[in-house]
Chains A and B, each alone.
Chain A
């Protein structure tokens, strides 16, 4: 097939997965948060359960004026949302939805993933710096400090998985979670990594992942009570929508990555490889839904951490724990 045509198709496919995914998660957040606060949430948009609320919000944002503050560095300011969205979109490239259902099965998948996911940090920093607003700048700097601090435990937790799987390819990681661990009464039992000794790694990865997404309890960069909205303060209209969409698309991506690394990805026991291409996406979507629910649940339960508590948690607890986790995984890998 023509290279460019293939590229275009893949891009369309990623968008077709990302946009509905983000919208569904936004709606889920609206509804779940409402019920957690003894409210009903969206009710009228779309006729039933307010299902069209995210779409209506999007339409509303599109009609708003796209403001660029006079003090802003216009070019950088305009570019930042694209970079954030692009960084999030790029992570979808290597997420496997089935043995063959992957946009690009890179051998260095995990490496690529961690590399492009830090691209969003750059976008956030650009947004904060270029807004010409002190709140935005503090927010941007906080985001940078936070994302650098939590990139480490995230990478280290992923390293332990890579060590155990013996590969950096996400397809390979899923495949190694599909290997038979033991057999009971003729049934081959395969365990995901979270049950194969990576429970600490899983917890570290989810915590660091939440911080990467700047979600409560790690939302200091956009803390609305102290920084109005951090780096988002000056954004409006379509550009704000991009940040908003990027945030939720990032949440879906993070959930998919956690599912792939720790929860067995698309794999379902007792289903052979051909059928997995059909069932796999559904399995992955179910796991992503579960993880997104966990993220939302955490968000609507905990208060925001203080800035120093945030750094303490990363440098004094998560990183040492992740290092010990790698060491133990390495020893286990050699001994067993």
Chain B
């Protein structure tokens, strides 16, 4: 428990003066508030602003969509047959991404999708300026999510590398 400093307010009405000292000090201290649209703070690189998608890396494994607590990721894909490289080779199939939407009206920015992605197709970007007048516009489609990719900062170098 903290000891109450009883000597500080010995003067009659000294407590009042002490309080006024506090407010006047706060008044002359520089305010740290930043007036947003005029002045913009740079968020830290690890800030969870928006999730970017690298469609080339995505294999439509659906892990992110399944792990998402809010079910805010919508994925559709189809299997595509790739002809063999050499004569007599095996025909391989490959999953192609048709739709990858994240509904930011639902997203709670937990980052589980980014964590869970085994192919490094999802990234955190510190960009945060994507508010909309209509809530339905917060559903970002594949193209929009891909556009965020350029705002993703380069990851810090590995320790001891």
Binding site for B on A (CB under 8 A): 32, 34-40, 43-44, 297-298, 300-302
Contacts and interface: CB of A to CB of B under 8 A. Distances in A.
Nearest to A32: B27
Interface stretch (B29-37, B44-52, B109-117): B29-37
A43 B31 CA distance: 13
Contact of A38 (B16, B19, B24, B31): B31
Contacts of A32: 27
B76 to A, nearest CB: 44
Interface of B: 16, 19-20, 22-24, 26-29, 31-33, 35
Contacts of A37: 26
A32 B26 CA distance: 10
4 interchain residue pairs of minimum CB distance: A301-B23, A35-B27, A36-B23, A301-B19
Most buried by A among B27, B31, B35: B27
Chain A contact residues: over half helix, strand or loop, or mixed? loop
20 contacts: A35-B28, A35-B31, A36-B24, A36-B27, A37-B26, A38-B26, A38-B29, A38-B31, A38-B33, A39-B33, A40-B31, A40-B35, A43-B35, A297-B23, A297-B24, A298-B20, A300-B23, A301-B16, A301-B19, A302-B16
A38 to B, nearest CB: 6
A301 B27 contact: no
Chain B contact residues: over half helix, strand or loop, or mixed? helix
Contacts of B27: 32, 35-36
B39 to A, nearest CB: 10
A13 to B, nearest CB: 34
Contacts of A43: 35
Contacts of B28: 35
Nearest to B19: A301
Nearest to B18: A301
A129 B150 CA distance: 65
Nearest to B24: A297
Contacts of B24: 36, 297
Contacts of B32: 38
B26 A36 contact: yes
A40 B19 CA distance: 21
Contacts of A44: 35
Nearest to B13: A203
B15 to A, nearest CB: 10
Nearest to A43: B35
Contact of B20 (A35, A38, A39, A301): A301
A32 B31 CA distance: 12
Nearest to A203: B13
A36 B20 CA distance: 10
A297 B17 CA distance: 11
Given A297-B20, A302-B16, A302-B19, A35 B35 contact: no
Contacts of A297: 20, 23-24
